[in-house]
Every structure is written in C-alpha cells, then in structure tokens.
Structure 1
C-alpha cells in the first residue's frame, strides 16, 4: 500500500525493513492483550484475586504498547493491520488453552506469553538499530515494561 503522506521520514528500503519487524510485533502485542484477558477471565483458585488484578495491569501496558507500535507504523507511512485474521496469522504466541486455569498454570502460561513477546521486541530492537532509532527506542521502552511485568509474574513461580 502506498503512503498517503507527501513526505517520508525514511527511504522506502528502511521503511520496508521497519515494517517487516514492527508488523509482527504489533500482531504479537495485540494477541498478548487477548491472551492476558483470556487468562484474566479464566483464572481460578486460591490466588485468583491478585492474579486477576495483576493481569489487568499488564493488559493496560500491552494495549498502550500496541497502540504506540501501530502509530509508529503510521508515522512511517505504513498502514497497521490489527484485524483478527492478520493477528492470528502473524502473532508469534502459542495458542492459549481454553477453559479455566488454576493460578499456577495461569502464571506459567502468561509468563511464557510475555517472554515470547519480549523475544519478538528484542528481535525488532536489533533489526531497527541502523534503520530507525526512534522505532528502536520505542521497542526498548516497551520491552523494559514487559520485562518488569515478567519479573513480577515469575516471582510467583518460586
């Protein structure tokens, strides 16, 4: 798709390179928000309430992050695609199991999902370094936020 903007921030090759890593990051983050809500709705057991609340906090972070990635794509003249079919096809996350999950399983599954999203972002960080320092910085900040959430999730597995 051709950009609707008269001026480009980056040349076409750099824009294409950025889009090739930011688009999968966007899909993965949109999927992560959905996975975390699925976990939030279906967690049961002894530690239900704190896990339920913690997952909502992470969802807020992830939704803000996906919006920032989508807006960066737009700034580069690339149309972000957050449609369900695209997200399902491009997300790097494993499919979250259906049904109720106990607290321990929820922590393990959501920790794995957050770690996968961090891996996608770290790949993007490495790829964006020479192409787009602004996009790189954006991904660094998002990764830092998710790494803090991962620490707080994993601490419950000890």
Structure 2
C-alpha cells in the first residue's frame, strides 16, 4: 500500500526505487566510513585530512536526505537502518584503530571511487524511467567526484 501515490508507471518506479535505495545505503555508509577515518586518522597531515573528511560527511549526509526525500515523493519508503546499510554496502570497511594519514587518503579514494561507480550506473538506469531522479544522481556524482579528486591530489 502506498501512502503517497507515485506519478511513475510501476516498472519505472521499481527501477527508480531500487536505485534510490542503493544510493541511500551508499551515502549513509560513506558518511559512516568517513567519520570512522576522521576519528582515527594520525600523521603529519592529520589536520587537513581530518577537516576534509568532515566535508565528505556533510556532503554524504545532505545527499542521503535528498535521496530519501526523492523516494518519499515517489511513494517509496527509505531504509537507512544499520542492518540494511551493513548488508547492502559496497564500501570496504576501514580498519579498526589508528589510521595513518596516507592510508586514510587511499581508503577514501577507494570508498569514493566505489560509490561514484555505482552512482554512474544509477544515472544510466534512471535516465528513461525518471529524469528527475537521474538529475539528482548526476548532481550527487559531480559532488562526490570533486571529493574524489581532492583526495587523489592528497596522494600525489
């Protein structure tokens, strides 16, 4: 039963809702991974990386809210519960304990790259089904690619 009736045909709604749920899981986990590294990064570049990680967390949290609200607008409930995120993520879990600054950077390059790859798949999947959701995924991908570039520049 839908509380909000979607304007999309059922097949398109299925495609879009799966893409939105996957994006939500990725973004929630990205914020958690970045915060975990943020708390535990050590090394000579601690401060700059520590602050940069907070920027990723803020972006991921903003975008996760946008994705969940888009799903709601289409009549689809979102699931950002911990077990759902843990079972659906494609991001590698960071190690426990202190994380050397160079490892923090390479970990974030990998995490962002992983999420960006899946976001680009969602752009393709939703283009015909729902250009509004496609546009949301394009905007999110652009923002994440900016963070990815900045972390890559840290490792050069």
Q: TM-score, normalised by structure 1?
A: 0.96
Aligned residues: 156
Structure 1 residue ranges (4+ consecutive) displaced by more than 6 angstroms after TM superposition: none
- The structure 1 residue matched to 2:109, chosen from 108, 111, 128, is 111
What per-residue deviation string (whole Å, max 9, x for no partner) do you get for residues 67-99 of structure 1? 111111111111000000000111111112111
What per-residue deviation string (whole Å, max 9, x for no partner) do you get for residues 116-147 of structure 1? 11111101000001000000000000000000
Aligned counterparts of 2:89 and 2:101: Cα–Cα separation in 1 = 25
- The structure 2 residue matched to 1:66, chosen from 64, 67, 86, is 64
Counterpart in the other structure of 1:20: 18
CA shift for structure 1 position 8: 2.1
Name structure 2 gaps, 5 residues minimum. Answer: none
- SS of the residue 2:44 aligns to: coil
- SS of the residue 2:85 aligns to: helix
What per-residue deviation string (whole Å, max 9, x for no partner) do you get for residues 103-127 of structure 1? 1000000110011111111010000
Aligned counterparts of 1:94 and 1:80: Cα–Cα separation in 2 = 23
CA shift for structure 1 position 11: 1.3
Q: Answer yes or no: is 1:89 the counterpart of 2:77.
A: no
Taking only aligned residues, the RMSD between alpha carbons, in angstroms, comes to 0.8
Name structure 1 gaps, 5 residues minimum. Answer: none
Aligned counterparts of 2:73 and 2:14: Cα–Cα separation in 1 = 13
Aligned counterparts of 1:68 and 1:101: Cα–Cα separation in 2 = 31
Q: TM-score, normalised by structure 2?
A: 0.97
- SS of the residue 1:10 aligns to: coil
